[in-house]
Amino acid sequence: MTAPRSAAARVIPIVPVAGEPQMVSLYEKQKKIYPRSVHGWFARWRWAMVWLTQLLFYGLPWLNWNGRQAVLFELTSRRFYIFDLVLYPQDFIYLTGLLVISAYGLFFFTAVGGRLWCGYACPQTVYTEIFLWVEHRIEGERGARMKLDAGPWTPNKLWRKTAKHAVWLAIGLWTGFTFVGYFTPIQTLWAEAFTLAFGPWEWFWVNFYGLATYGNAGFLREQVCKYMCPYARFQSAMFDHDTMIVSYDTARGDPRGTRARGADLKTLGLGDCIDCGLCVHVCPVGIDIRDGLQYECIACTACIDACDSVMDKMKYPRGLIRYATQNGLAKRLSRAAMFRHVLRPRVLIYGAVLVAISVAFVVSLNLRHTFKVDIVRDRMTLARLVGQGQIENLYRVQLMNATERPQRYHLAVQGVPGIALASVGGAADAADVDVLPAQARWVTVAVRVSPQAAREIGPGAHPIRFEVAAADDAARVVRERSTFVVPR
Amino acid sequence: MSDFFSSGWSIYIAAATILGLVACLWLLIIAARRRVMADDNTTGHVWDEDLRELNNPLPRWWMWLFVITVVFAAIYLAIYPGLGSAPGSLNWTSVGQHREEQAKAHAETAPLFAGLAATPAAALARNPQAMAIGERLFANNCATCHGADAHGSKGFPNLADTDWLWGGTPEKIKETITNGRQGMMPPVAAAVGSAEDVRNVANYVLSLSGSPHNSIAAQLGRAKFAVCAACHGADGKGNQAMGTPNLTDNTWLHGWGEDAIVAMITRGKTNVMPAHGERLTPEQIHVLAAYVWSLSNAPATAAQ
């Protein structure tokens, strides 16, 4: 380090270390993971989440509301129906809001309880769970599956494999069908399915989404979390020493070893871990939780359930593997003491922001206008002289009805002395425009200023304001700004 | 292809593309195997005293994704343009695709337009669907000059009133849209006489429509109006066959008042309505003409 820099480039010394070099492949063949099925308190929670999320996903498109599908995103007409709401593409801000809420929700829950999203709610986990259940039903438990895969192609193997893939494909395609059902009325789609009368895009998306489900949940599984998922990586970055993560209590468990039931641990010099390997067998990402926190761990808690069942058999207290904080394990904190550490600045700030944004979201959604107005100056000349020297400007006004009833809107204009509407939609002295349910309509609006007023305000662009009110509710006024041009 | 000055560039780009693909595969192959230390799974290199490189292998299926991209690129380059100026086996061009889509759209709307083309303009004006089509055609093709409300402005005629330069029947409107029009007012100040004479004629012209004017000047200008009468007629009512405007009404396309008229006589003006026969089909022009005709003839509510 202290040597003077020579004119030549600095040479980094490469020092060989001990051992014999060996050629290896840098592309690793993936070892298939055979997770053992697991029962217990957390498994029940996981299944409850599977039911909840999937009832919502598969069920929602079949729900009707006000004589139409309750949740329908119509891409051709660009109207997004969510129960009573009719959203326009201009309402994109609400989607942004939803994404910000989701992000802060993720931050908040991750800071408190680690990768809760990954373990319980992520579609990748949920569909893998469903597909594993199918696999277990058809091919049997972990050992049976390994034997089946290693064995020759017998008629038994052929049928089991065929049956498994058929069921997987069916679930996948049903998922794809449901997905498309959010964008095309699902009842019509269902009728079309029987005559195979899908349009080209419907065919594509049903199959694409269906096969993606089949591939992701059937084959890629933990590979998605390990190599593709960006959330997996940044969630780990939000852990701290007071985050409740799935942990193995090393101090209590080690040294590990087999022993007879009821054997005296003190004389054997062993910890509580009997080294049965069950926590490794149930792990869907193929890690050993006893090695500590690893980036592959999706916090599915299968190892907790597996270990608790073993502890019960051994008549040891539960919780050798449990939700615990790194501080808690290091300082031997009690459960209550660990929970007290949950309320730390990071969690409070995430929580406060989450609540604030959620409240703002709900309030703004409730206060939103049931119609929108867009003012575009006409593409013709900026201004023209009409009649006895009056100045006229033309505007194209788009009125967007976000209700499912026909509406009448009343237009007015302000901002320059003596400014008045000359015609609306080609009709002189009119100020009302009718718009059909959930439709948008363009009308041409001419606005005039008297010659005296024009001289008074002088040439140039003057800010004006259009005021549009719903005829049945004069209190709801939308104000849109534009300019009025007086020529030189 | 006119994209390149020399066909050498095309070959150069094709060669660079192919070499790039080959290099990708070559990289995948040479990076496939590596000498690592048998005991600690590192490459055996040590940097900066204690930094060692761990062998952390890529999943093999991920490597296949790279291979698939190369295969995809090869197939793509074979069937689509991409290798220099080679057109690819499908002979695809963006212009061709545009034409195809246009032809498809025309074929889809043809039955509709065939029905509309067979209907006289007066009947179309009462057909809300036809008028909605007409309004869209107008917004896309005419509104830039004539305004979204068709009221025009200085130099651009008002299409919603009953005053027509070239005739206001649906047939004449169709002719105007299809072939365009060229209105030409020659500079005739020299023929009229002195600047004083020009001013007198301007006042006479103003008097024809009952606009405020100097009546003495108008009397003096009356005789000189003979120069104008050749086109505008002795009574100044214009001639739709020539597109000469009526000077006795209150429509002033190029500006009202003595100064504007003097400028017109002195400098003249050529005003052009471009032809749309190439841009629009005869059926579209039929519907568009009916829409324009309806603006001054049918109740405006028909369009709604």
Q: pLDDT at residue B167 above 80? A: yes
What is the side-by-side strand order in the sheet with A407-414? A432-435, A407-414, A460-470, A473-486
B35 part of contact set with chain A, CB < 8 Å: yes
Closest Cα to residue B160, out of A445, A427, A442?
Answer: A427
pLDDT given at position B58: 84
pLDDT given at position A7: 45
Strands (E), B38-180: 42-47, 51-54, 58-59
Of B52, B60, B151, the CB nearest to A27: B60
- CB of B175 within 8 A of CB of B270? no
Task: Render pLDDT for A291-329 as a digit per residue (tens, 0 to 9).
Answer: 988 888 999 999 999 999 999 998 899 999 999 999 999
- Rounded Cα distance, B200 and B215, in Å: 9
Of A21, A29, A425, the CB nearest to B60: A29
Residues near A408 by Cβ (< 8 Å), separated by ≥ 6?
Answer: A432, A433, A434, A435, A470, A471, A472
Residue A54 burial (C-beta neighbours within 10 Å; 0-12, 13-18, 19+)? middle
Task: Render pLDDT for A363-399 as a digit per residue (tens, 0 to 9).
Answer: 999 888 889 999 999 888 788 888 778 899 999 999 9
Quick check: B148 and A444 CB within 8 A?
yes
Query: Tokens 């949940």 correspond to what residue?
Result: A217
Task: Render pLDDT for A64-82 as a digit per residue (tens, 0 to 9).
Answer: 988 899 999 999 889 999 9
- CB of B269 within 8 A of CB of B157? no
Task: Render pLDDT for A116-170 as a digit per residue (tens, 0 to 9).
Answer: 999 999 999 999 999 999 999 999 999 999 999 999 999 999 999 999 999 999 9
Return the CATH number of the domain spanning residue range B184-273: 1.10.760.10
Task: Render pLDDT for B254-277 as a digit per residue (tens, 0 to 9).
Answer: 888 889 999 999 999 999 999 999
Residue at B169: amino acid letter: T
Residue A216: its chain B contacts at CB < 8 A?
A: none
- Residue A61 sits at the vertex; the CA angle it makes with A59 and A67, to the nearest 5 degrees, is 120
Mean pLDDT of chain B: 89
Q: pLDDT at residue B3 above 70? A: no
Task: Render pLDDT for B80-130 as a digit per residue (tens, 0 to 9).
Answer: 998 888 888 999 999 999 999 989 988 998 899 999 999 998 899 988 889
Q: pLDDT at residue B156 above 80? A: yes
* CA B134 to each of CA A279, B138, B139, B200, B290: distance values in angstroms, whole numbers, following the listed order: 73, 6, 9, 45, 8
**How confident is the model over B168-196, as a mean pLDDT?**
92
- Rounded Cα distance, A414 and A410, in Å: 14
* CA A258 to each of CA A38, A142, A265, A280, A309: distance values in angstroms, whole numbers, following the listed order: 22, 22, 11, 16, 16
- Rounded Cα distance, A289 and A379, in Å: 67
A446 part of contact set with chain B, CB < 8 Å: yes
pLDDT given at position B290: 94
Of residues A488 and A174, which shows the higher confidence score?
Answer: A174
B303 part of contact set with chain A, CB < 8 Å: yes
Domain parsing of chain A, residue ranges: 28-368, 371-486
Q: Which residue of A has its CA nearest to B64?
A: A27
Q: pLDDT at residue A406 above 70? A: yes
- Residue A5 pLDDT level (bands cut at 50, 70, 90): very low
Report the DSSP pairing between strands A85-87 and A460-470.
unpaired
Burial B69-100 (b: 16+ CB within 10 A, else e): eeeebeeebeebbbbbbbeeeeeeeeeeeeee
pLDDT given at position A388: 73
Task: Render pLDDT for A410-441 as a digit per residue (tens, 0 to 9).
Answer: 999 999 998 999 888 877 778 899 999 999 99
Give the three-class secondary structure for A427: strand
- CB of A472 within 8 A of CB of A407? yes
Ranges A84-93, A137-146, A258-267, A434-443: which has the least confidence: A258-267
Task: Centre a 10 Å sphere on the Cβ of residue B13 and count the other Cβ atoms it contains.
Answer: 17
**What backbone phi and psi angles, to 5 degrees, belong to B153?**
-165, -165
Residue at A470: amino acid letter: A
Task: Render pLDDT for A210-225 as a digit per residue (tens, 0 to 9).
Answer: 999 999 999 999 999 9
Residue at B117: amino acid letter: A
Residue B44: its chain A contacts at CB < 8 A?
A: 16-17, 19, 21
Q: Which residue of B has its CA nearest to A426?
A: B149
pLDDT given at position A12: 59
A396 part of contact set with chain B, CB < 8 Å: yes
CA dihedral A131, A137, A141, A145 (to 10 degrees): -70
DSSP classification of residue A238: T
Domain parsing of chain B, residue ranges: 7-79, 102-180+274-303, 184-273
- Residue B299 pLDDT level (bands cut at 50, 70, 90): low
Ranges A146-150, A349-353, B30-34, B59-63: which has the least confidence: B30-34
- Rounded Cα distance, A396 and A379, in Å: 9
- Rounded Cα distance, B142 and B180, in Å: 12
- Rounded Cα distance, A44 and A204, in Å: 36
- Residue B212 pLDDT level (bands cut at 50, 70, 90): confident
Domain B102-180+274-303's class? Answer: mainly alpha
Quick check: B33 and A24 CB within 8 A?
yes
pLDDT given at position A140: 93
Return the CATH number of the domain spanning residue range A371-486: 2.60.40.10
Ranges A59-63, A264-268, B181-185, B247-251: which has the least confidence: A264-268
DSSP classification of residue B53: E
Report the DSSP pairing between strands A85-87 and A21-25.
unpaired
Helix (H) or strand (E) holding B6: none
Q: Which of residues 204-233 of B touch A (CB under 8 A)?
A: none
- Rounded Cα distance, B150 and B158, in Å: 6
Helix, strand, coil shares of chain B as percentages rounded to 5?
55, 10, 35
Residues near A360 by Cβ (< 8 Å), separated by ≥ 6?
Answer: A97
pLDDT given at position A180: 95
Give the three-class secondary structure for A123: helix
The shortest C-alpha distance from B302 to chain A (Å) reads 11
Q: pLDDT at residue A204 above 60? A: yes
Look up the pTM and report it: 0.81
Q: Is the ipTM of this complex over 0.85?
A: no
- Rounded Cα distance, A213 and A218, in Å: 8
- Residue A466 pLDDT level (bands cut at 50, 70, 90): very high
B42 part of contact set with chain A, CB < 8 Å: yes
B154 part of contact set with chain A, CB < 8 Å: yes
A385 part of contact set with chain B, CB < 8 Å: yes
Q: Which residue of A has its CA nearest to B250?
A: A387
Task: Render pLDDT for B227-245 as a digit per residue (tens, 0 to 9).
Answer: 999 999 999 999 998 999 9
pLDDT given at position A464: 96
Query: Tokens 């005789």 correspond to what residue?
Result: B223
Residue B42: its chain A contacts at CB < 8 A?
A: 17
Closest Cα to residue A403, out of A470, A478, A475?
Answer: A470
The shortest C-alpha distance from B147 to chain A (Å) reads 5
